[in-house]
């Protein structure tokens, strides 16, 4: 009787905690499903909703821990270095928006504006405080997503569920993109540019959607590899037997294969050269990461890689003609972008320490634009997220922001190599980081909040699962 009473007490103590965590988890997933819906969250309405929803869920979760007198599943000390770096960057962004009448740190453009208007103007480091505050809001929103995913996904089953649901969400937007390619966008997406034969789904740019489609493909491919590696590793004998084991295992994995195929087709039909190349590097990392047991034979590992590459190559052969045609027509790089990169580097050299204010590229670049770029067109982004970060924050704090992400990505890669079981989540997180990190060199997809929020959610789950379950990470 005493044992029954004790078990009942344990169930009563665990039940409220599970209800709260599950409720917040599903609300979190609902937010992740929403963020690509409204132009990839590249709109004032979406930005406002996200700024309320995700930090609000994080605050609600923290409040629930206080009420329940529970500790964080992952203590802050386990992410102390990147958290300190991000906190320092946030403090610096706030300083960039303050007026410095008593200290000569304001950007010289404010003095020129005061002279032109004939009246005093309070200056700041940022050349546009409104843009800097908006970029800060986006950064805090993404950081709250990472923290919430980190806490909710310490449980391995929940982490796999989150990534699986993200794969389903990615398939849904890929299916819509393929339908819209023929039928046109939905009525409320009136501001989308014409597709011109390319898939852009609900995003304003097909190159940005290519990043999101690549994320969906890698997430789904990670679960495909998880399933078929088990099937092939148990098969011994000839290559024919390995192929037969793969086909036999396809009965239960047909949905995974269909999802991976769907997102890969959508990715190919975006026509994005950078997106396809970055996804290829992410897939290579996904294939190579992970701890392979000593009992595994080399041919089994090779069979998994060869079969995966064969399926991807077959898909590219059928649907990759758009990308090939674009490369044949425009080449591998854009001369205008190269000129923009050089001009952005020149602006960074003029303010290497203070920067111009986080998120102010659209106002800074016209001051440096010259005849090396075609007259037509407006460059609101540098098409290189790293250059924009350095231009806005300066070299020191820009390096701090990038370094914090790199530390977390390396931790995911280390967990994928170190863990013998449940390595799927950190493997996917590390490969997605490579995809987004490489594509950010030639495009601005990471500056789309739908991509940034999805990425930080995956990164949080990957960091939470980079340590074995037996290791206590609570604070």
Tens of pLDDT, residues 144-187: 999 999 999 999 999 999 999 999 999 999 999 999 888 877 77
Burial code (b: 16+ CB inside 10 Å, e: under 16) for 115-140 equals eeeeeeeebbbbbbbebbbbbbbbbb
Q: Are 458 and 429 in contact (CB under 8 A)?
A: yes
Rounded to 5 degrees, what angle do the CA atoms 451, 25, 12 make? Answer: 165
DSSP 70: -
Query: Between the CA atoms of 388, 362, 55 and 167, what dihedral angle is there, to the nearest 10 degrees?
Result: -70
The pLDDT-based confidence of 11 (bands split at 50, 70, 90) is very low
In this predicted model, which residue has the larger pLDDT, 240 or 130? 130
> Per residue in 196-235, pLDDT tens?
778 889 998 888 999 999 999 999 999 988 877 665 555 4
Buried b (16+ CB within 10 A) or exposed e, 383-408: bbbbbbbbbbbbbebbbbbbebbeeb
Residue 162 lies in a domain: yes
Residues 435-471: tens digit of each pLDDT: 999 999 998 889 999 999 999 999 999 999 998 776 6
Give dist(CA 137, CA 209) in Å, integer.
22
pLDDT band at 475 (very low <50, low <70, confident <90, very high): low
In a domain, 471, yes or no: no
Residue 417 maps to a domain = yes
Q: Residue 227: CB partners within 8 Å, gap ≥ 6? A: 249, 252, 253, 256
Which phi and psi (to 5°) does residue 174 adopt? -65, -45
CA distance 247 to 258: 14
- Residues with Cβ < 8 Å from 452, sequence gap 6 or more? 138, 142, 446
Express each pLDDT in 35-82 by its tens digit. Answer: 999 999 988 999 999 999 999 999 999 999 999 888 899 999 999 999
Query: Cβ(207)–Cβ(275) under 8 Å?
Result: yes
Burial class, 274, CB count within 10 angstroms (exposed 0-12 / middle 13-18 / buried 19+): buried
Distance separating the N- and C-terminal Cα atoms of the chain = 34
Angle at 447 between CA 337 and CA 31, to 5 degrees: 155
Structure tokens, 58 = 């994080």
277: closest CA among 440, 413, 403? 440
Q: Higher confidence at residue 139 or residue 472?
A: 139
Share of the chain above pLDDT 90, in %: 51
pLDDT (mean) for 324-345 = 70
What's the DSSP call for residue 292?
Answer: P
Q: Which domain holds residue 400?
A: 2-464
Is 474 domain-assigned? no
Question: What's the number of CA atoms in the CB half-sphere (13 Å) around residue 459?
Answer: 27
Task: Answer whether 113's CB lies under 8 Å from 121's CB.
Answer: yes
Number of domains in the chain: 1
User: What is the phi/psi pair of residue 375, to 5°?
Assistant: -65, -40
Phi first, then psi, for residue 44 (nearest 5°) are -60, -40
Residue-level pLDDT at 331: 47
How many residues are given for the chain? 475
Q: What is the pLDDT of residue 328?
A: 47
Q: Per residue in 4-14, is it b (16+ CB within 10 Å) or e — as a string?
A: eeeeeeeeeee
| Spatial separation of the C-alpha atoms in residues 229 and 211, rounded to whole Å | 26
**Rounded to whole angstroms, how far apart are CA atoms 459 and 166?**
13
Structural domain contains residue 470: no
Q: What is the pLDDT of residue 212?
A: 96
pLDDT in the model for residue 90: 97
Give the Cβ contact number of residue 23 at 10 Å. Answer: 14
**Phi, psi (5° rounding) for residue 292?**
-100, 125
Token pair listed for 251: 């009965």
pLDDT at 310: 59
> Residue 293: its pLDDT value, please?
45
104 φ, ψ (degrees, to nearest 5):
-80, 70
pLDDT exceeds cutoff 50 at 255:
yes
Q: CA-to-CA distance for 359 and 231, rounded, in angstroms? A: 48
Q: Which two tokens stand for residue 89?
A: 């960057």
Residue 37's pLDDT is 92
pLDDT of residue 190: 63
Q: Which residues pair with 99 in a beta bridge?
A: 124
Among all chains, which residue has been given the structure tokens 């037996």?
Answer: 470
- The reply to whether 448 falls in a domain is yes
Rounded Cα–Cα distance for residues 464 and 32 (Å)? 18
pLDDT given for residue 376 in this prediction: 74
pTM: 0.88
The pLDDT, as a whole number, for residue 68 is 87
Give the pLDDT confidence of 375-409 residue by residue, as tens digits: 777 888 888 999 999 999 999 999 999 999 999 99
pLDDT digits (tens, 9 = 90+) for 281-300: 898 889 888 655 444 445 55
pLDDT of residue 19 exceeding 60, the answer is yes
The span from the CA of 148 to the CA of 56, in Å, is 11
Task: Name 124's bridge partners.
Answer: 99
For all residues of the chain together, what is the average pLDDT? Answer: 83
* DSSP-assigned letters across all residues of 144-201: HHHHHHHHHTTSHHHHHHHHHHHHHHHHHHHHHHHHHHHH---TT-TTPPP-TT---T
Position 364 in a domain: yes
Of the pLDDT bands very low, low, confident and very high (cuts 50, 70, 90), residue 374 is: confident
The top-scoring range by mean pLDDT among 277-281, 337-341, 452-456 is 452-456
Answer yes or no: is 188 within a domain: yes
Most confident of 23-37, 68-82, 184-198, 233-247: 23-37
Q: Tens digits of per-residue pLDDT, 298-319?
A: 555 555 566 566 566 655 555 5
Q: What is the pLDDT of residue 119?
A: 84
C-alpha–C-alpha distance, residues 98 and 389, integer Å: 19
């Amino acid at each position: 009787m005493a044992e029954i009473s004790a078990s009942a007490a344990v169930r009563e103590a665990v039940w409220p905690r599970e209800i709260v965590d599950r409720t917040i988890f599903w609300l979190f997933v609902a937010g992740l499903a929403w963020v690509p819906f409204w132009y990839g969250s590249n709109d004032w309405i979406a930005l406002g909703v996200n700024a309320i929803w995700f930090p609000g869920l994080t605050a609600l979760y923290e409040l629930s821990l206080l009420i329940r007198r529970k500790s964080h599943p992952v203590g802050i000390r386990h992410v102390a270095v990147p958290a300190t770096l991000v906190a320092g960057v946030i403090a610096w962004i706030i300083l960039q928006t303050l007026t410095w009448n008593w200290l000569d740190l304001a950007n010289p453009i404010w003095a020129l504006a005061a002279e032109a208007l004939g009246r005093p103007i309070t200056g700041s480091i940022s050349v546009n405080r409104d843009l800097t505050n908006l970029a800060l809001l986006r950064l805090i929103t993404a950081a709250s997503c990472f923290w919430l995913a980190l806490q909710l996904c310490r449980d391995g089953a929940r982490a796999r569920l989150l990534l699986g649901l993200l794969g389903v969400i990615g398939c849904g937007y890929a299916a819509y993109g393929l339908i819209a390619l023929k039928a046109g966008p939905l009525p409320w997406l009136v501001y989308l540019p014409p597709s011109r034969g390319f898939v852009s789904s609900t995003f304003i740019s097909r190159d940005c959607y290519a990043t999101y489609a690549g994320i969906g493909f890698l997430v789904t491919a990670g679960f495909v590899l998880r399933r078929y590696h088990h099937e092939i590793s148990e098969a011994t004998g000839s290559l024919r037997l390995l192929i037969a084991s793969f086909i036999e295992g396809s009965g239960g994995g047909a949905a995974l294969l269909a999802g991976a195929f769907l997102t890969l087709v959508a990715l190919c039909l975006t026509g994005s050269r950078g997106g396809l190349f970055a996804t290829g590097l992410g897939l290579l990392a996904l294939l190579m990461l992970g701890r392979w047991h000593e009992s595994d034979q080399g041919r089994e590992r090779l069979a998994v890689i060869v079969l995966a590459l064969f399926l991807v190559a077959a898909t590219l052969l059928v649907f990759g003609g758009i990308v090939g045609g674009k490369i044949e027509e425009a080449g591998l790089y854009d001369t205008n972008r190269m000129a923009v990169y050089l001009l952005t580097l020149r602006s960074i050299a003029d303010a290497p320490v203070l920067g111009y204010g986080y998120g102010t590229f659209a106002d800074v670049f016209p001051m440096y634009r010259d005849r090396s770029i075609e007259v037509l067109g407006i460059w609101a982004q540098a098409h290189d997220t790293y250059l924009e970060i350095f231009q806005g924050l300066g070299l020191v704090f820009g390096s701090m922001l990038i370094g914090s992400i790199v530390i977390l990505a390396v931790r995911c890669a280390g967990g994928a190599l170190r863990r013998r079981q449940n390595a799927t989540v950190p493997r996917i997180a590390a490969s997605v980081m490579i995809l987004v990190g490489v594509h950010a060199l030639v495009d601005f997809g990471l500056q789309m909040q739908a991509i940034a929020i999805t990425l930080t959610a995956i990164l949080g789950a990957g960091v939470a699962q980079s340590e074995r379950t037996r290791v206590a990470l609570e604070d």
